[in-house]
Amino acid sequence: MLVSVYRYNPETDREPYMQNVDVSLPEGKDLMVLDVLNLIKEKDQSLSYRRSCREGVCGSDGMNMNGKNGLACITPVSEVVKNGKLVVRPLPGLPVVRDLVVDMAIFYKQYQRVKPYLQNSSPASGRERLQSPEERAKLDGLYECILCACCSTSCPSFWWNPEKFVGPAGLLQAYRFLADSRDEATDERLSELDDPFSVFRCRGIMNCVSVCPKGLNPTKAIGHIRDMLLSRAT
Amino acid sequence: MTALRKLSFDAVVIGGGGAGMRASLQMAQSGFKTACLTKVFPTRSHTVSAQGGITCAIASADPNDDWRWHMYDTVKGSDYIGDQDAIEYMCSVGPEAVFELEHMGLPFSRFENGRIYQRPFGGQSKDFGHGGQAARTCAAADRTGHALLHTLFQNNVKHDTTFLNEWFAVDLVRNQDGVVVGVIAIEIETGEVVFVESKATVLATGGAGRIYASTTNAHINTGDGIGMALRAGYPMQDMEMWQFHPTGIYGAGTLVTEGCRGEGGYLINKDGERFMERYAPNAKDLAGRDVVARSMMTEILEGRGCGEQGDHVFLKLDHLGKDILHSRLPGITELSKTFAHVDPVSAPIPVVPTCHYMMGGLPTNIHGQAIMQVDGEDQVIPGLYACGEAACVSVHGANRLGGNSLLDLVVFGRAAGLFIEEQLQQGIEYRAASEDDVDRAMGRLNALDTNENGEDTATLKRELQNCMQNYFGVFRDGEFMKKGRDELTGLGERIANLSITDKSKAFNTARMEALELQNLFEVAESTAISADERTESRGAHSRRDFPVRDDATWLCHSLYDPTTKSLSKRGVNFTPKTVETFEPKERTY
C-alpha cells in the first residue's frame, strides 16, 4: 500500500513535504493506521507522532487520514484508504511542531478557560454528594471526551477564531459542568461565555459531530449552552 | 560539564497518571511549588485505560460493608506477602480518599438512592470470606480510570500545579551524601536537557507491561522510574510478580474489564462449558486473577481452547442483554467491536491472559518514602519517594485484586503528598549537587547521543519482548528461565550499545524510545532474576518445577540488588495497628 505522510523537521526542512512510502501489509489482517505508522517508523526512526494507549481512550494520536480527522489507533486502514492510498497529515489548523505532532497549546488554553472542574462551595458531608441516576445520566455523552482535538481542529469557526471561540471540545466540557447537578457556578460559567465569540461563533456546521471518535455531540451541547444564555437574557 | 538550565521546585513528581497527579494535587493545594513532570500530556497517562472501578468499602451497595473485610480479601489475594500495615492503611483510609474524588467532581455511576454505584469484582467477600460475594468496586460505567484521571487533572489545573508536559525524565541526580536531589529531563518539544532540582523527588512513573510482547499496557508503559532507580543502585521488590489479566482481547491485547464478569458474564471453553466452576467452585469466574488466568491457560494447553488454533477462550456476555451492556459496559462494547470485530450483545469475545500489572516495584513505607536495605535493615533513601504502580508498598503482594490499583494510587499518591507537605513545613532545604553528580546522571544520554553504528531500538525491543513472553509468562519453569536469562545477558550488552540515526532535537521520539528500551531492559532483567530465584509458586508466580507455596522459605518479599544482580529477602509486615494479624492459610476460591 502507498502511504503518503506529512513530513516536517524544523531543524532540517525549510518547508513541509509529503513523503511517499510503500508499506507491505500482512495478509488477512486489517491493521489500524497507527500500526502502519509503527511499521514505517521501524524502518525510518525519524518519523514523529504521538501515541499512547493504542485503544482509543487517551486521545494522543488524533490526525487527519485521507481528509478526515480521527484517532489512528482505532481507524482501520480499510475504512479510510482510497484507491490503494493512505494520506496521513497532522490535525489541521494548529502549528506543526514536527511531522504529525501539532502544538496543542491553544486547544488546551480554551479547555482551561471554561474552568473545567466542579465548583461547589457548600461544605461536603463526610460522604459523597448524592446524585440521582437521572441527574447523573445528564453527564453521559459529555464526560467521555478524551481531548484528542479531532473536533476543534475540524471546525472552520475554530480555524478562524482560535483565540476567541472556545471551540467544540472546550464547550462540551463547559456544558459537562453546567449539566452537573453538583455544580453551583452556573451563573458565573454562563457570564464568562456571554459574548459574541465564545459560544455564538458556532455555526452549526457539525464537523465536530462527524469526526468525534467517541461518538459525542458537541453541537448539541453548544445548543444547550445557547439556550441557557438566551433564556437568561430574557 | 555542559551548562544545563536548572529549574527548582519544592517537589517534583515524575509521572502524570493517577498517583502522580494525586500527589501533586495534595502539595499544590497546600501552596507548595510543585511540578508534575510527565512524558505525555497528563490525560494520556495509562490510568485512563482503567475500566472497572476503584474498590473501596464505602458501604453503598451494602450499608454494613466493612473495610476490614476488604483488608481480609486483599491480604488473601496477595497470597500473604502483602504488608498488612499498608493494606490496613489503604483499606481504612480508602473511603475518605474516594469521597474526596467525588467531591472533586468524579462522575461516578449511581444507585437509585443517589449513592455511588458499586459492582462485584473478583476476590471480594463479606464477613472475612464467610458472607459470600461482595459488591465493593465503585464505578463510573466502565470508564472509571478515564473519569478519575480527568478529574485529577482538572483539580490540578484548579490549584495551579506546574505541569512540565511532554518532558522525559532520563536519570536521577544523587549527590555525594546519597541524597536524591532531582532529575535530568528532556523537554521533548525542543530537545533541551534540563536539571530539575527539588527537595523531594516522587517517582510515579507507572508500570512496565511493555516488557512482554502481549500486554494490555499502553506503549508508554516502559518502567522509566524503575529503570532510573535501578541505575542509581536502588533495590526492587517482588519483581517476579506480574499479573496476567484473564481477559485481554485475543490478538490485540486490549483489556476487557473484570467488571464484565462482575456484572454476570462468564468464561467458556470450546465445548461451551463454564469451566471456572471446576477450578473455583465458590467464586467461579470471580476468583483471584491469577487463579482465573491459570485456569484459562490450562484449558488451552489441554486442548479445550477455542478457535482454529485452540489458543483462546470466550467471554460470554450476550445473556446480560443489550440494556446492561450499553449502560454498564458501553466502553467494552465499543472496544470489542473495534478490536475483536464482535458485538458482545450477540457473540462472545475471544480472550486470553495478557500481561497487565506489575505488583513489584521500588519498596516504600506507607508515606511513600523509598526504602533500601543496609545490613538487612530498612533504611529510607533521602529525597526519594514513590507511589502507584512504580512503588511496592506492598499492598498487592503476589497478586493484586481488581479495583485495588486505582485505590492504591489514590491513597498512596495522597499519602506521599501529605507526608512531603509535612516535611516541607518543617523546612527541608535544597541539597547541593556537584558538577560530577549532574555529569553522572547525564552519562547515559551522552552515551546514546555520541554512539555511532550501535544497535537498533525496534529490533531489540521485539527480541526483549519475545524473550520475556516465552520464558517468564503465566507458567514458569527453572530450566526454561535459565535459557531466558542467558538470552537476556546477550540482549543486555546490545541494549547498552544502542545508537540512533536521528540526532535532531525537536520532538525526537527515536531518542526517547531508545532510552525507554533501556528502562524496559532494567525491568526485564530484575524480573527474570527474581522469578528464577524464587523457588516456589505463590500468587501470580507459578512454577512447574516448584508447584507448591513454600511458607517456610518464601513467606517474604524478594529484594533485587542491581549492583550485584542478586536476590535477598525482606520481611513482610504482619502487624497491622488496629486489627489482628491475618495468618497465612491455604488460598482457595
Task: Please give the full DSSP string across B363-398, using - where no structure is assigned.
Answer: EB-TT-EEEEEETTEEEEEEEEEE-GGGEE-SSSTT
Residues contacting B563, CB < 8 A, separation 6+: B233
Domains of chain A: 2-102 (3.10.20.30), 105-233 (1.10.1060.10)
Distance from C-alpha of B506 to C-alpha of A105, rounded to nearest angstrom:
16
Nearest to B303 by CA among B311, B293, B291: B311
Q: What is the pLDDT of residues B390-429, one digit of tens each?
A: 999 999 999 999 999 999 999 999 999 999 999 999 998 8
Question: Phi and psi dihedrals of B98, rounded to 5?
Answer: -75, -40
Residues contacting B432, CB < 8 A, separation 6+: B175, B181
Element (H, E) at B511: helix B509-533
Min Cα distance B50 → chain A (Å) is 10
For the annotated catalytic residues of B, the residue numbers are: 289
CB pairs under 8 A between A and B: 149
Distance from C-alpha of B553 to C-alpha of A151, rounded to nearest angstrom:
58
Distance spanning both ends of chain B, measured CA to CA? 59
CA of residue A146 relative to chain centroid, distance: 7
Cell of B243: 499479573
Which residues on A lie below 8 Å from B109 (Cβ)? 133, 136
Half-sphere exposure of B266 (CA within 13 A, CB side): 16
Cell of B579: 486489627
Which residue in A has a C-alpha nearest to residue B148's C-alpha?
A: A143
Distance from C-alpha of B48 to C-alpha of B148, rounded to nearest angstrom:
8
Are B110 and A132 within 8 A, CB to CB? Answer: yes
**Mean pLDDT of all residues in chain A?**
97
- Residue A179 in contact with residue A142, Cβ under 8 Å? yes
Element (H, E) at B436: helix B435-450
Residue with cell 457570564: A191
pLDDT mean over A155-180: 98
Are A182 and B41 within 8 A, CB to CB? Answer: no
Q: What is the pLDDT of residues B475-491, one digit of tens each?
A: 999 999 999 999 999 99
Which residue in B40, B109, B339 is closest to A60 by CB distance? B40
Mutate to test the interface with A, among B329, B457, B509, B511 (most CBs of A within 10 A): B509
Which residue in A has a C-alpha nearest to residue B218's C-alpha?
A: A53
Which residue in A9, A50, A51 is closest to B506 by CB distance? A9
Whether residue B139 lies within 8 A of chain A, CB to CB, comes out as no
Are A128 and B108 within 8 A, CB to CB? Answer: yes
Using DSSP bridges, classify how beta strands B236-237 and B192-203 pair: parallel, antiparallel or unpaired.
Answer: unpaired
Which DSSP string corresponds to chain A? Answer: -EEEEEE--TTT-SS-EEEEEE-PPPTT---BHHHHHHHHHHH-TT-----SSSSSSS---EEEETTEEEEGGG-BHHHH-BTTEEEEEPPTTS-EEETTEE--HHHHHHHHHT--S----SPP-SSPPP--HHHHHTTTTTTT-----TTGGG-HHHHH-TTTS-HHHHHHHHHHHHT-TT---HHHHHHHH-STTTTTT-----HHHHH-TT---HHHHHHHHHHHHHHHH-
Three-state secondary-structure class, residue B205:
coil
pLDDT at A234: 73
Distance from C-alpha of B162 to C-alpha of B475, rounded to nearest angstrom:
44
Are B513 and A139 within 8 A, CB to CB? Answer: no
Min Cα distance B334 → chain A (Å) is 9
- Residue B114 in contact with residue B574, Cβ under 8 Å? no
Q: What is the pLDDT of residues A60-111, one digit of tens each?
A: 999 999 999 999 999 999 999 999 999 999 999 999 999 999 999 999 999 9
Which residues on A lie below 8 Å from B504 (Cβ)? 9, 11-12, 46
Distance from C-alpha of A222 to C-alpha of A194, rounded to nearest angstrom:
13
Ranges of beta strands (E only) in B17-160 are: 34-38, 54-55, 118-119, 137-138
Q: What is the pTM of this model?
A: 0.97
Min Cα distance A124 → chain B (Å) is 7
CA of residue A24 relative to chain centroid, distance: 30
Distance from C-alpha of B340 to C-alpha of B247, rounded to nearest angstrom:
12
Which residues on B lie below 8 Å from A11 (Cβ)? 504-506
Are B500 and A136 within 8 A, CB to CB? Answer: no
Q: Which amino acid is at A93?
A: G
pLDDT at B2: 57
Question: Phi and psi dihedrals of B511, rounded to 5?
Answer: -60, -45
Question: Phi and psi dihedrals of B542, rounded to 5?
Answer: -125, 115
Distance from C-alpha of A211 to C-alpha of A218, rounded to nearest angstrom:
11
Whether residue B457 lies within 8 A of chain A, CB to CB, comes out as yes
Ranges in chain B, pLDDT < 50: 1
Which residue in A has a C-alpha nearest to residue B340's C-alpha?
A: A30
Cell of B453: 553504528
Most distant CA atoms of chain A, gap in Å: 63
Are B507 and A97 within 8 A, CB to CB? Answer: yes
Are B49 and A55 within 8 A, CB to CB? Answer: yes
CA-based R_g, chain B, Å: 23
Cell of B145: 480510570
Looking at the DSSP bridge assignments, the partners of residue B15 are none
Residues contacting A223, CB < 8 A, separation 6+: none
Min Cα distance A3 → chain B (Å) is 20
